[in-house]
Amino acid sequence: MPQPPTTITDELGIALANLTDSATGVLTPTLRLGVTGLSRAGKTIFITALVHNLLTQGRLPGFGPLAEGRFIGARLAEYPDATIPRFAYEQHLAALTGQPAVWPESTRRISQLRIVLKYQSAKWWSGLSGPATLNLDIVDYPGEWLLDLPLLGKSFSEWSGEALERARQPGHAQEAEGFLTELESTDPLKSANDPDAERLAAAFTFYLRRSREHGALSTLPPGRFLLPGDLEGSPALTFAPLPRPAQPIRGTSLYAMLENRFEAYKAQIVRPFFRDHFARLDRQVVLVDTLRALNTGAVAVADLETALTAVLACFRQGDANPLLRPFSRRIDRILFAATKADHVHHKSHDRLEAILNRLVGNAAKRARFAGAATRSLAIAAIRATNEGTIREAGESLPTLIGTPIAGEKLDGTVYDGKTEIALFPGDLPERPDSLFEDGTPVALNFLRFTPPQKLESNADGEPVLPHIRFDRALDYLIGDRMA
């Protein structure tokens, strides 16, 4: 799938924004990091942990500048774009460190944050110039918006055909039944009217929400239907896929009306997001809730692969020409991170990474061909469990020890959010391809756990957030820019 098409106006806007960034970064260079992930992948937790660890110089033995004693410190700074909401770091940290600790709310809108990093360069001439600084700009946005980017390269007819084909597949029959019933009673060539458009859009939105609850991802665009915000009820969000009629299409028909609204959605909502934010990134972390898809079933795993491949094709990847760098940005380094590694035993982490590599294989090859470096890691930005062992039928089994979130269910037990348990999570398959070859379900005991309720403190009294390989993720994303 090609990168979303852009107009001359788009490219001029992107170039002007990049030129402005370059001009303001003459004295202090800026690195724009995009934190990307489909719904419930852990973007908010990742960013909160990243900022907190940099501000408090957390326990990050794998983060080169800190391990080598070159990291001097960090501070939050005013973000240069006053029109973009600020990432609510303090509120999210308060939720994670409160009594009781709870997970912060998921991302529902775009937000940004700037953190200024001061360090001593490892280069031999650094002693002549003193400490160096780097502005790290973090861009956060809802995962549902990602799924809209491939729409820029599709017509209403193409999108409708794909959406209706998926809706009619056996795996989506239950969720799509109401929408397909409404569609059967609708004549696309009838005269356009708002009640019909609203009825179809409501039925389609209900189908999308049901699909998300059951683990489907590639069925979800348009993403703003799920998180409409202040656009709820607007004509740009009041359309649905329709089969293309064989007869000529009148400009006053329902089909023409919904086609025009689809194009308006791309032009007024999706394209500005791509132009103003997505096309101006230097680094990208892609968070993937692999375990949730595995726990849902083979259809969800295949659907996750489809969604990731489509989304990642939209990235502007590779090294930019040095002469054009002030005008054009390219993502030169991508980290694929399988989140919630604390939900399986560490003996399965290699297998989790192998499954992730299988899911993003095509996208990673395309990125490397374009000149971008890629890496995959199994991580937990904040570790919610510890490990132990139990004996069952004379056999020693590795377990996870943690407190399931209130309402979680397993084997007929409903947990109250206060009781700590020891759980054998199950084993991941040795061969990732087996998930795609025969659709064999993975026998996982998958529960969501509360954040750690008792945190250690550092010498300054700041809470220490436990993690799994988060230091290695941070080093890969920004360590080279602080060398």
Q: Domains of the chain: which residue ranges?
A: 8-141+281-380+468-482, 149-273
Pick the residue with more confidence: 324 or 345?
A: 345
> What pLDDT digit, counting tens, does each position of 122-179 carry?
887 666 678 999 999 998 888 778 888 889 889 999 999 999 998 998 878 889 999 9
Q: Is the peptide bond before 100 cis (omega within 30 degrees of 0)?
A: yes
Ramachandran class of 235: left when φ > 0, alpha when ψ lies in -120 to 50, beta otherwise: alpha
208 CB neighbour count, 10 Å cutoff: 24
Predicted TM-score (pTM) of this structure: 0.88
Task: Determine the average pLDDT of the residues in 33-53.
Answer: 91
Residue 249 confidence (pLDDT)? 96
Alpha-carbon span 224 to 201, nearest angstrom: 12
Which of 39, 5, 1 shows the shortest CA–CA distance to 362?
A: 1
Alpha carbon distances (Å) from 240 to 243, 244, 265, 272: 10, 12, 12, 21
CA–CA distance, 46 with 341 (Å, rounded to integer):
13
Q: Residue 10, SS3?
A: helix
Distance (Å) of CA 423 to CA 144, 398, 402, 411: 32, 8, 8, 12
Element holding 139 (H helix, E strand) = strand 132-140
Q: What's the CA gap between 374 and 130, in Å, rounded?
A: 32
For residues 247-268, give the mean pLDDT.
96
Q: What is the average pLDDT across 89-106?
A: 95
pLDDT digits (tens, 9 = 90+) for 375-418: 999 999 999 999 998 887 778 888 999 999 999 999 899 999 99
Nearest Cα to 98, choosing from 460, 482, 455, 456?
Answer: 455
> DSSP of 236-297, one letter per residue?
GG-----PPPSSPPPTTBHHHHHHHHHHHHIIIIIHHHHHHTGGG-SEEEEEE-HHHHHHH-
SS3 207: helix
Q: Is the pLDDT of residue 49 over 60?
A: yes
- Of the pLDDT bands very low, low, confident and very high (cuts 50, 70, 90), residue 16 is low
- Local confidence band at 79 (pLDDT 50, 70, 90 cut-offs): confident
* pLDDT cut 90: percent of the chain above it: 59
What's residue 145's pLDDT? 83
Is the CB of residue 90 less than 8 Å from the CB of residue 52?
Answer: no
**Confidence band (pLDDT; 50, 70, 90) for 15?**
low
pLDDT tops 50 at residue 82: yes
Neighbours of 61 (CB within 10 A): 10
Q: Give the residue carrying structure tokens 């692969």.
A: 305
Mean per-residue pLDDT, 102-115 = 90
Per-residue pLDDT averaged across 416-441, rounded? 84
Q: What does the pLDDT read at residue 12?
A: 57
The token pair at 65 is: 């500048």
Among 354, 363, 384, which residue's Cα sits nearest to residue 284?
363
CATH (residue range 8-141+281-380+468-482): 3.40.50.300
Residue 252 has pLDDT above 90, yes or no: yes
| pLDDT tens by residue, 371-380 | 899 999 999 9
**260 vs 216, higher pLDDT:** 260
Sorting pLDDT into bands at 50, 70 and 90, what band is 327?
very low
Please check the confidence at residue 478 and state whether its pLDDT lies above 60. Answer: yes
Cross-strand partners of 373: 333
Q: pLDDT class for 323, splitting at 50, 70, 90?
A: very low
pLDDT for position 25: 47
Residue range 100-112: mean pLDDT, rounded: 89
- pLDDT score, position 17: 58
**What does the pLDDT read at residue 324?**
45
8 Å CB contact between 52 and 465: yes
Q: Which residues pair with 463 in a beta bridge?
A: 457
